Amino acid sequence: MLNFFNKYSKYVVLLIFIFEIIYFGIPDYVQPVFVYVYLLFFGLAYLFAIIQDFFNPSEKTDILLRVVIIISSLVIMITSIYYKSTFSLIFSMIMFMAISFSLYLAIKQNKTNKQQD
């Protein structure tokens, strides 16, 4: 029972957060473009987490999803430069570096697994 709760709790919390944002609304000082870009980024990350947890994706699918998330973080970076949003720029740079490093580690691990076989 505890394993069931631990596995699904992260998805329930995210859905509650989404409904909370819809209920309270988006503040007026937030650019609508940021809302769409962040929804795209977190939606892709959410999709990546669901696929990782419930399905067993191939290495190509795993790498492709990481590349798409990296591209969406670059879109956030370009948007934040255009709208001069410092917090979004810092966030997008950190996410770009972190996801790129995780992609590097995944590719490196795939190469070492293929060499051992």
What distance in Å separates the CA atoms of residue 107 and residue 63, rounded to the nearest whole number?
Answer: 8
99 to 69, 77, 96: CA distances (angstroms)? 8, 14, 5
Residue extents of the structural domains in the chain = 29-116
Q: What single string gives the DSSP state of each residue in 4-67? A: HHHHHHHHHHHHHHHHHHHHH---TTS-HHHHHHHHHHHHHHHHHHHHHHHS---HHHHHHHHH
What distance in Å separates the CA atoms of residue 103 and residue 87, rounded to the nearest whole number?
Answer: 24
Q: Let me know: does 97 contact 87? Beta carbons within 8 Å.
A: no
pTM of the model: 0.74
Q: Check whether 2 has a pLDDT greater than 90.
A: no
**DSSP assignment, residue 84?**
T
Q: Tens digits of per-residue pLDDT, 68-93?
A: 888 888 988 998 898 888 888 898 89
Most confident range, picked from 4-13, 42-51, 52-61, 87-96: 87-96
Q: Check whether 1 has a pLDDT greater than 70.
A: no
Structure tokens at 2: 């505890």
Query: Mean of the per-residue pLDDT values for the chain?
Result: 82
What distance in Å separates the CA atoms of residue 70 and residue 105, rounded to the nearest whole number?
Answer: 14
Structure tokens at 87: 């917090």
